[in-house]
Copies of this chain bind each other. A is one copy, B any other.
Amino acid sequence: MKTIGVVTTGGDAPGMNAAIRAVTRIANWKGLCVLGFERGYEGLITGTFRQMTPRNVGGIIQLGGTILHTARCPEFKTLEGQKKAAKNLHDHNVEGLVVIGGDGSFKGAYELSKICSTQMVGIPATIDNDVYGTDETIGFDTAVNTAVAEIDKIRDTAISHERVFIVEVMGRERGFLASTVGITVGAEIIIAPESKCNLDEIVSIIKQNWRKGKRAGIIVAAEGCGKVTEIAKTIEKNTSAEVRLTILGYVQRGGSPTARSRLLASLFAEKAVEILCESQGNRLVGLENGKITSIPLEESCRKSKPIDTSLLKVNEMLSI
């Protein structure tokens, strides 16, 4: 293998730049030339790339976002688009491609792999942590800490005004972010899409807390639950609590990556380059049981990552 490509696709996640840097430098160390495709799959289709060197990835390990940019690319979902991408990879002798992104990105890479001799290796980077084949994605730890820092601030107002705050965190249809954030901010209640959201039970907990003298409270809800306004109204109607609602929003996607997100990025990149150098086929890099591993890309696309609901149970004990 002489030339590889690297691309960031899907929603940006903190640590993508650390991964770009690590892929570039490790590949370079091993004698490979690295091309950085811009704006996600759009860059593959249009053939827009820049040469990546150890120097032009200097000073980016600590930056959020992605210097290669990312974009949604409807054209890549068509066979037409994929063929253009395959041709560009072929024309520039790109024998391996490192795809840094999430769930949807890997589905795209897998489709592309069917019509293209370039070997695909996925590096999971998304704040949602919803990629099968890894216990943790790049950016997840950063997003969790960002949300925790925000809610630590909101708690000041919650306690001062003795109010209940419902805080909606990201995570799309999954509760990975909500459950980890919830337990680490000391939330009274965590609402994840994977567990039923029982309004009666929520009302009952708020009432109990009131009796215990806990007038302030934090409820962490995943955006996938989709009914925070209804929950707020139900609590206000049925209890003495004053309720406020906050949607954390896009701040969770940015910011300087935590040490852990940077470390994962570096170790995933090393593994990805190794897989390419050893021609192991289309694979997804991951962290499983504390070790850096990989599984077939196809397997990751086919399966859905299960959530560990035991956190929710532990939180019930922690929030008494």
Contact = CB atoms under 8 A, between A and B. Distances in A.
Contacts of A145: 145, 258-260
Interface string A297-320: 000000000000000001001111
A165 to B, nearest CB: 7
A71 B307 CA distance: 40
Interface stretch (A86-94, A178-186, A191-199, A232-240): A178-186
B256 A152 contact: yes
Contact of A250 (B157, B254, B287): B157
Interface stretch (A23-31, A76-84, A276-284): A23-31
For this chain, the copies found in one complex come to: 4
A153 B262 contact: no
Interface residues of A, number: 81
A260 B317 CA distance: 19
Contacts of A317: 25-26, 29, 270
A95 interface: no
B70 A12 contact: no
B318 A26 contact: yes
A276 to B, nearest CB: 15
Interface of A: 8, 11-12, 14, 16, 21-22, 25-26, 28-29, 39, 54-55, 58-59, 61-66, 69-71, 135, 141, 144-146, 148, 150, 152-157, 159-162, 165, 180-181, 183-186, 212-214, 244, 246-251, 253-256, 258-260, 262-263, 266-267, 270, 287-291, 314, 317-320
